[in-house]
């Protein structure tokens, strides 16, 4: 098995450290942040507009209507 290139990152204090990999060599990652594109099977799956980031969008899978949160309400932006 060929050796890969070690990947180095920084911890929260800025100290250099090697990244974690699995036994197979896959890089372990953790995503953070807020999803801005939400999808659901029906309109009842849409969360309250005030519970998502302003600008987040929601679409029912298989439909063409796209809703966007303004922080208070869902606004139709595409039909």
* pTM for the predicted model, two decimal places: 0.58
Q: DSSP states of 9-64 as a string? A: EE-TTS-EEEPPB-TT-PBP----S--SEEEESSGGGPPPGGGS-TT-EEEETT--
The pLDDT of residue 78 is above 90? no
Give the pLDDT confidence of 14-68 residue by residue, as tens digits.
Answer: 887 777 777 887 887 777 777 799 999 999 999 999 999 999 999 999 999 999 9
Q: Please, are residues 58 and 46 in contact by the beta-carbon 8 Å criterion?
A: yes
The pLDDT of residue 9 is above 70? yes
pLDDT of 1? 44
**Confidence label for 70 from pLDDT (cuts 50, 70 and 90):** very high
Structure tokens of 32? 């953070």
């Amino acid at each position: 098995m060929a050796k890969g290139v070690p990947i180095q990152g920084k911890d929260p204090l800025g100290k250099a450290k090697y990244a974690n990999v699995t036994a197979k060599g896959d890089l372990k990652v953790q995503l953070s942040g807020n999803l801005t594109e939400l999808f659901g099977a029906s309109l009842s799956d849409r969360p309250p507009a005030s519970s998502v980031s302003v600008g987040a969008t929601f679409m029912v899978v298989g439909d063409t209507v796209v809703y966007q949160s303004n922080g208070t309400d869902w606004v139709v932006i595409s039909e």
